[in-house]
Structure 1
Amino acid sequence: IIAHEVGHTLGLRHNFRGSTLLAPQEMNNTEITKNKGLTTSVMDYIPPNIAPQGTKQGDYFPSMVGPYDEWAIKYGYIPIKTSTPIAEKPILEEIAAQSYKPELSYSTDEDVYDLDPTADAWDNSSNVLLYSQWQLNNSRVMWERLDKRYPLAGDGYSDVSERFSTVLGNYFQQIYYTTKYIGGQSFYRIHPSEIPSGVSQHRLPFEPVPVEEQRQALETLQKYVFAEDALSFSPELLNKLAPSRWRHWGSSPRVGRLDFPIHDLVLLMQGSVLRDLLSGDRLSRLKDIELKTKPENALTLPELFDTLQSGIWTEVIKPKGKPMKISSLRRGLQRQYLDILTAMVLRKESVPEDARTLAWYKLKQLDEQLKGVNSEDEYTKAHLLETRDRIEKVLNAPLQGN
């Protein structure tokens, strides 16, 4: 932290690509981290490095500044014995010419708002997709331990609630990093004239995320966000999540509903992820990337829509042959999905026209599939009938003109 703040006083900005130095498999190898460190720069925001289950824990935090820091400070502060400032230029150009090296890559505050999975605060490793999946698994282990071992001696149930919420926040932070792979691309500050002779230029300024990684990200989201058991907690744990009743200066005890609103919270988070994946901005990016890469290397809009519909409506599209019973959390997610596609079809959302057409097509497909299913569970039966009624009204809605 001290090195980070001193870096600011010396003129350095944040470098949110600093955490990409090591592969996930190297992060807990102390023979590597003691020599190379954990990051290329202390100017990143670095979370604690927590090993996946079954791996011996290595360093939690960096213990040295990184190669980017040394390079940037060298450029800014190396003593140069010259008679005029202009005479310094060749020496500075020689230092700056090293910028093509991966360990000297730079990405700062304004870059993190783009869909660049290599530029983020509080992420870790050169493969955030894998590292985040490890942390998602760690979160599930922590929830299991909260269920079985807590509260500890001297703790209250509000301590359990705070720990549960902390783990939940980290869980969805890892989900956020995963979503940036879908329709994502990395941006590199590369200037052709800075590539030294004899060094091949390995990348252009924009580099789309490989389609295999985008598909892997969709699988991760299905498993950890959209699946029926993605956010499943025992009744005992949910009944432990008590609010603090401490009232003193600076405290604001909760009033009104005191229990943990698990349905509302899960649906809010699932809906946020789903709306982000189907936002006009992301859908436009996916269309553009189809032109920026070979057809076989692009995640197309039809594939995205089909993957989401299959994963969210699995009970209908891939029935297991037993009496159908759709859980309450799944019913809520399916309604969110229907709301989003309805808004596209009725032109209440600004999305590419191809996306609007696909939304209409997927609703029509879903309507056909719903005709062949039934359920003896009253929740499920009502849900399926109401869904069909809504879809048919949307498909038959008159077009509105100006």
Structure 2
Amino acid sequence: MTGFDPAPTEASAWTAPPAPRLGIEEEFALVVPRTLEPANAAAAVRERLDEVSLPGSPRIEGEFLAHQLEYATPVCDDARAAAPLLLRARRELAAAAAGLGLGVASSGTLLHEADSPEPADGARYRRIAADIRGILDDHQVCGMHVHLGYDDPEQRVEALNRLRGWVPLLTALAANSPFWRGRDTGFASWRTILLRRWISIGVPAPFADFADYTGRRTQVLAAVGDDDAALVTWTVRLSHHLPTIELRFGDAQLEVRDTVAVCGFVRLIAARMMRMPQPPPAIDSDVLNTAVWTAARDGHAALVPHPLGEGVAPLPALVEWALDWCGSPGSVARDIRSLLARGSGAERQRRAYASGGLAALGATVAAHHGPLRTSGLAPAADGVKPDAAGAAVE
């Protein structure tokens, strides 16, 4: 696995953009600590947060279901700069929930889901719930999304096209949802499988340009009789209201250091891919979406396609190749190797449940888990741009 950079043709006039800045979204589930069942108290927790908020407190928003909340960082220079913000949001959210006798879980799925989940307040969420009907019961999932900023919409489309081939690898790397309705599914990322039922999902085919992207999105929305652009939930897509591409492959992560490792790796990959004079050959969407299924099943043990189209290989071997090919700074390499050494979130959840049942699993998925110093993270606060628009809830 040597990778390659195709030589530019005479017609090529590609100018690589600088490494992108990023924003990170993390979704959480409110749970009853004793049972880990979802608790429809997002509105009450937000009220409590508003009562105790101080200048600079993270703004935590509601999400699709009444037991879900989300934090979106402001624009950051890199993933490590986001770390103190993510940790503070988790700690403040956990404290507010604890004041109501509740816990906060950071996992793609829970051990126990609601039989009839309640949509959050708001006409839009009620409309979506009515549209998806029975799918609502199986849409009790929490994700970790990363936004990469590119000012030029054509560059955003180019970045999307160049990053498509990485989705299976990234899905496997971020797998953290093994349980569903009281049992082990046998999958490392059951959330990924559940999302395949959504209106539009998966890795899209490459786009010719920005006009092609917007035209295809319009056609998808017309097919379902809607004009809500956020319903086009391709695994990698352009934000409809921010100058970013959004990668939605990730389960909600157990710890901040997991989030930082995965998102730092994504940014590193994006910067390297956008330095290539020409993109590698596009991998067929059917192949990628099949590989995503396998990645979701096997997690860190998965065989995944080489992102540059050079066959398949075990996830750890491809990660090591990518770190070398990208010329990884030491911090990203340390963070991602630490994640591989600890095992996926799914593996850690299974180990906890096997060793101590609900109590051990609850402690493992607690959203405030994982102090920064345990992984040697020392993010620089001056990398944060709090005056910039954050990655908003969609």
TM-score, with normalisation over the residues of structure 2? 0.27
| More helix per residue | 1
Greater RCO, CA 8 A, separation 6+: 2
Larger Rg: 1
| More strand per residue | 2
